[in-house]
């Protein structure tokens, strides 16, 4: 088992890292078989920032990059009680191991999902992170974002180079937005138009399977799809993302790069707005899965209120974002059972500060 690293003091963290460094043997992409990579729910890679200007971010991913596994066997993930991702994100650990701290733990991409009802009310979907031993920023609210899944394109880096869209996968697979009145799974048109009937049916079946495993008998799994009007929103600070890998430069779609706070993690964020009939008619489910069981992680999921004019979060008297409604297992969460304080991860914080009422390119 990994320790709750985030709860330690800086001095205690450095002590644990010094203990773990001799046993930390980072593995590169070619050290893993395709079967191993495919068995993970995702993996980040170590990348270097070559150029970061107002117009573009150029990242170098080595020909055979270091891999940061999401959920392999514990003997590959946990080093003397510390999660590998924690080591990669720590500049202190990198300096001890490599003599420099140039690497960033590069996730592929993700999306802030904005909901707008027919009355013009605006909200943002967010899940609560609850696993302090294996993730950063535990006890915080997050958007759907994170590690890339294995794909054979570009030697297993298809999502990192944007040959395969992580954002699309995250939007379609991490949340299940159900119209409870008609028992339909809501799919944004920007993605649905490119799906063949078999893919649409697969989305329904996967969502239904996960929802059956966690719902409390009050709501039924979806049996059909509802197509929803949607478009991408431009985030302040969005820029062209370029990936230098294997002698090529891959130009990705525009995104907002978000660097960690005191940590060397890097997320690439987009924002999508989806139109729903009303917030009262929908139930959001967390469909992000446990790689070993295939079941939903079943995190608490909330809708934060946004100002319909500025698209910025509406704050309460304590200066914290206001939650309109929250669900877990398809059941509304009583406000008294929600986390006492609202702490957003850096990506969500960046989205709160960058949203605007302007459409972006696909």
In percent, the amount of the chain with pLDDT more than 70 equals: 91
Mean of the per-residue pLDDT values for the chain? Answer: 88
Q: How confident is the model at residue 219 (pLDDT cuts 50, 70, 90)?
A: low
Residue 338 has a pLDDT of: 82
Q: How confident is the model at residue 335 (pLDDT cuts 50, 70, 90)?
A: confident
Residue 250 has a pLDDT of: 96
Each residue's pLDDT tens digit, 281-294 = 999 998 887 666 76
Residue 2 has a pLDDT of: 67
Residues comprising the chain, all counted: 362
First to last CA, the chain: 42
Residue 81 has pLDDT above 90, yes or no: no
Residue 77 has pLDDT above 80, yes or no: no
Each residue's pLDDT tens digit, 5-63 = 777 888 998 999 999 999 999 999 999 999 989 888 889 999 999 999 999 999 999 99
Each residue's pLDDT tens digit, 104-140 = 999 888 899 999 999 999 999 999 876 544 456 666 8
Rounded alpha-carbon distances, angstroms, from residue 244 to 44, 164, 207, 249? 16, 16, 36, 4
Q: Average pLDDT of 306-319?
A: 93
Q: Which residues have CB under 8 Å from 62's CB, separation 6+?
A: 46, 245
Residue pair 129/93 in contact (Cβ under 8 Å)? The answer is: no
Residue 291 has a pLDDT of: 63
Residue 297 has pLDDT above 50, yes or no: yes
Each residue's pLDDT tens digit, 83-97 = 888 899 999 999 999
**Rounded CA Rg of the chain:** 20
Residue 133 has a pLDDT of: 46
Q: Is the pTM of this model over 0.85?
A: yes
Task: Provide the residue ranges of all domains of the chain, joining segments of one domain with +.
Answer: 5-48+59-106, 109-235+268-354
Q: Average pLDDT of 208-217?
A: 71
Each residue's pLDDT tens digit, 151-204 = 889 989 999 999 999 999 999 999 999 999 899 999 999 998 888 889 999 999
């Amino acid at each position: 088992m990994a320790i709750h690293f985030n709860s330690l003091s800086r001095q205690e963290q450095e002590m644990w890292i010094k203990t773990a460094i001799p046993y930390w043997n980072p593995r590169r992409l070619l050290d893993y078989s395709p079967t191993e990579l495919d068995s993970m729910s995702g993996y980040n890679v170590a990348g270097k920032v070559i150029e970061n200007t107002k117009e573009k971010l150029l990242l170098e991913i080595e020909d055979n990059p270091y891999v940061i596994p999401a959920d392999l066997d514990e003997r590959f993930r946990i080093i003397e009680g510390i999660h590998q991702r924690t080591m990669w994100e720590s500049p202190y650990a990198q300096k001890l191991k490599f003599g420099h701290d140039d690497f960033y733990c590069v996730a592929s991409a993700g999306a802030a999902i904005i909901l707008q009802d027919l009355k013009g009310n605006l909200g943002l979907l967010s899940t609560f992170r609850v696993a302090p031993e294996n993730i950063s920023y535990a006890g915080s609210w997050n958007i759907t974002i994170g590690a890339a899944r294995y794909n054979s394109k570009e030697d297993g880096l298809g999502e990192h180079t944007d040959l395969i869209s992580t954002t699309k996968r995250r939007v379609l697979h991490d949340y299940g937005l159900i119209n409870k009145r008609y028992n339909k799974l809501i799919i944004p048109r920007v993605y649905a138009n490119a799906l063949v009937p078999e893919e649409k049916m697969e989305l329904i079946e996967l969502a239904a399977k996960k929802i059956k495993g966690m719902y409390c008998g009050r709501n039924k799994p979806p049996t059909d799809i509802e197509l929803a009007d949607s478009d991408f929103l431009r985030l302040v600070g969005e820029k062209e993302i370029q990936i230098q890998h294997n002698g090529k430069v891959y130009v990705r779609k525009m995104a907002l790069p978000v660097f960690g706070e005191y940590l060397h993690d890097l997320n690439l964020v987009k924002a999508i707005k989806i139109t729903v009939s009303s917030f009262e008619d929908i139930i959001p489910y967390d469909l992000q899965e446990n790689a070993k069981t295939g079941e939903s992680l079943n995190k608490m999921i909330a809708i934060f209120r946004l100002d319909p004019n500025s698209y910025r979060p509406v704050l309460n008297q304590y200066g914290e974002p206001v939650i309109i409604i929250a669900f877990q297992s398809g059941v509304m969460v009583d406000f008294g059972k929600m986390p006492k304080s609202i702490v957003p991860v850096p990506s969500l914080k960046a989205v709160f500060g960058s949203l605007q009422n302007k459409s972006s390119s696909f």
